[in-house]
C-alpha cells in the first residue's frame, strides 16, 4: 500500500472550521514542512511539524507507505523525513482523530505511530508525555527549525526548562514522601495540565477546571522559552485569536542567565502583559539582523577608544535606563556618591560603554553586554553611552562574533 500526496493537494485539507489536519505548509518562499494544524481562525495554528530542521523544496511528496508510514521526499527522491514506527508492523491506514492526534495503525487497529507520542512544541487535551519526553521550541513564530529552548521530562520525574543550561524546574523528584516524583506530564481531556506523581498526587500548573467543555485549548512552548496554555471559546463568532490562560515561568527575563539571555547581546528584555518577553535596543544601537527582533544589538557609532588619541568625552552623551542591568561582569568598581558622578566616570573613560549605579557604587562595563533586562526590582540606574547626533561618524557595518542570542 502506498499513497502519495503533493504539496498542493495536502494544502486543501485545511478547513475553515475548527479541526485538525495533517498538511504541508510553506515555511519560506520555496521550502515546505509537514505539519499537524488546527483551524479556528483566519490563520492556521501549527501544533506539530516533522521536518523543521530540513525544509523540503516545492514539489516534494509525502507518501503513506506500509513499511515506514509517512515518508517525505524531494522531487529528486531524497528522503528528508519519515515516521519511525514505535512497533514493528505493516501500516494499513492513517487517520486524524477528534483530539488532533494523527495515528498510523495496522490491520488490527494497533497503533504503530502517532503524533501525540512524538511531540514538537505543543500539547493538546488528551496528550501525555512519559519520562524521557521533550518539547522543543521553534526558532521563531514562522521558522520551524529547532530553537533555543527545551522542556525535558527527566527520568527522575523532574520537568526541566533549559536553554543550554537549566533555568527552571518543577522539582518533582523523589522527596521525603514516597512516590512524590513525577510519572507523567498530563494534559487531560478536561483541559487540566499537571504532572502526575507516582503516588497519584498532582503538581498542577493552574487551578483545575473543566475548561474543555467551553474552550478549545493548547499548551505551547513558545520560541521565547515561555510555556503557555491558550484558549478559544467554542462559541466563537467570525475570526478569533488564541488568548493566554497561564504561563510558566513567571518572569523569563530574570530566569535565563546563560549566553546572551532571552534576548541577544546588548539588548534589553522586558515582559509584556501576557508574560511573554520582548526585546529592545538602547539608543544609538540597532538590530544586527533586522529580521530578528530577539537578536543582538550593534552600536551605530564609532566607540570612544577607536578615536584615540583624540578621544573626547564631549563627543558622547548617555541614555539613562531606570531599573535596567546587564549581567556582564564589570571591569572596574568605583564608589560614587551620586548617579551623576557614576555617569561622569563612564563619559571620561573611552573603554566604558555602560555604567550601573546602585547603592553608591558604580560598575563600569564594556561590550558585548549579556543578559540584559528591565525590572522594577533591580533598583538600579544604568547609563549607556552613545555618540551625540552632531558628531556621529560614518562607519562600516560591524559584524562582531556575538551575532545573535546564544
The Cα 361–Cα 364 span in angstroms is 10
Residues 6+ apart with CB under 8 A from 207: none
- Return the higher-pLDDT residue of 19 and 156: 156
pLDDT tens track for 231-266: 988 887 777 788 999 999 999 999 998 888 999 999
Residues 6+ apart with CB under 8 A from 297: 264, 265, 266, 267, 281, 282, 285, 286, 287, 288
pLDDT tens track for 376-396: 888 899 999 998 865 544 444
CB atoms within 10 A of CB 334: 17
| Mean of the per-residue pLDDT values of the chain | 83
The Cα 200–Cα 194 span in angstroms is 12
Domain 268-391: give its CATH code: 3.50.4.10
Which whole number is the average pLDDT over 12-37?
A: 47
* pLDDT bracket for residue 307 (50, 70, 90): low
Distance (Å) of CA 107 to CA 85, 95, 115: 15, 13, 19
Domain boundaries, the chain: 1-118, 119-249, 268-391
Q: Is-same-fold flag (119-249; 268-391)? A: no
Where residue 275 falls (left for φ over 0; alpha for ψ -120 to 50; beta otherwise) is left
First to last CA, the chain: 46
pLDDT tens track for 161-178: 999 899 999 999 988 788
CATH of 119-249, one of 3.40.50.300, 1.10.287.610, 2.90.10.10, 3.40.830.10: 2.90.10.10
Q: How many residues in the chain?
A: 406
* pLDDT bracket for residue 7 (50, 70, 90): very low
pLDDT score recorded for residue 42? 43
Domain 1-118: give its CATH code: 2.90.10
Sequential DSSP letters for 342-358: HHHHHHT-TT-SEEEEE
* pLDDT bracket for residue 37 (50, 70, 90): low
Report, in angstroms and rounded to the nearest whole number, the Rg of the chain calculated over CA atoms. 25
Amino acid at each position: 500500500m502506498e499513497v502519495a500526496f503533493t504539496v498542493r493537494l495536502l494544502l486543501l485539507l485545511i478547513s475553515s472550521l475548527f479541526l485538525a489536519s495533517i498538511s504541508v505548509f510553506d515555511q519560506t518562499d520555496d521550502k515546505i514542512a509537514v505539519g499537524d494544524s488546527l483551524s479556528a481562525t483566519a490563520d492556521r495554528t501549527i501544533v506539530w511539524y516533522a521536518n523543521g530542521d530540513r525544509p523540503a523544496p516545492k514539489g516534494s511528496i509525502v507518501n503513506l507507505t506500509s513499511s515506514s508510514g509517512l515518508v517525505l521526499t524531494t522531487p529528486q527522491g531524497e528522503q528528508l523525513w519519515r515516521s519511525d514506527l514505535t512497533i514493528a508492523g505493516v501500516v494499513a491506514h492513517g487517520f486524524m482523530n477528534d483530539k488532533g492526534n494523527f495515528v498510523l495503525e495496522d490491520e488490527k487497529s494497533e497503533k504503530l505511530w502517532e503524533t501525540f507520542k512524538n511531540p514538537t512544541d505543543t500539547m493538546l487535551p488528551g496528550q501525555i508525555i512519559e519520562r524521557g519526553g521533550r518539547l522543543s521550541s521553534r526558532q521563531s513564530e514562522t521558522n520551524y527549525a529547532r530553537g533555543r529552548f527545551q522542556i525535558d521530562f527527566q527520568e527522575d520525574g523532574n520537568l526541566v526548562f533549559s536553554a543550554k543550561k537549566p533555568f527552571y524546574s518543577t522539582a518533582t523528584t523523589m522527596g521525603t514522601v514516597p512516590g512524590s516524583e513525577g510519572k507523567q506530564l498530563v494534559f487531560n481531556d478536561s483541559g487540566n495540565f499537571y504532572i502526575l506523581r507516582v503516588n497519584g498526587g498532582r503538581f498542577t500548573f493552574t487551578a483545575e477546571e473543566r475548561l474543555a467543555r467551553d474552550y478549545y485549548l493548547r499548551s505551547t512552548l513558545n520560541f521565547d522559552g515561555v510555556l503557555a496554555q491558550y484558549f478559544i471559546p467554542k462559541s466563537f463568532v467570525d475570526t478569533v485569536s488564541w488568548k493566554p490562560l497561564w504561563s510558566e515561568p513567571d518572569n523569563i527575563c530574570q530566569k535565563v542567565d546563560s549566553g546572551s539571555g532571552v534576548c541577544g547581546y546588548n539588548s534589553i528584555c522586558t515582559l509584556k502583559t501576557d508574560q511573554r518577553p520582548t526585546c529592545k535596543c538602547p539608543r544609538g544601537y540597532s538590530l544586527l539582523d533586522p529580521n530578528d527582533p530577539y537578536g543582538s544589538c550593534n552600536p551605530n557609532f564609532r566607540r570612544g577608544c577607536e578615536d584615540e588619541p583624540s578621544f573626547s568625552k564631549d563627543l558622547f552623551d548617555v541614555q539613562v535606563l531606570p531599573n535596567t542591568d546587564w549581567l556582564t561582569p564589570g571591569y572596574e568598581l568605583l564608589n560614587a556618591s551620586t548617579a551623576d558622578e557614576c555617569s561622569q566616570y563612564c563619559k571620561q573613560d573611552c573603554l566604558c560603554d555602560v555604567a550601573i549605579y546602585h547603592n553608591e557604587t558604580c560598575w563600569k562595563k564594556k561590550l558585548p553586554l549579556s543578559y540584559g533586562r528591565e525590572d522594577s526590582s533591580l533598583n538600579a540606574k544604568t547609563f549607556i553611552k552613545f555618540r551625540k547626533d552632531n558628531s556621529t561618524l560614518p562607519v562600516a557595518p560591524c559584524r562582531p562574533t556575538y551575532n545573535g542570542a546564544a
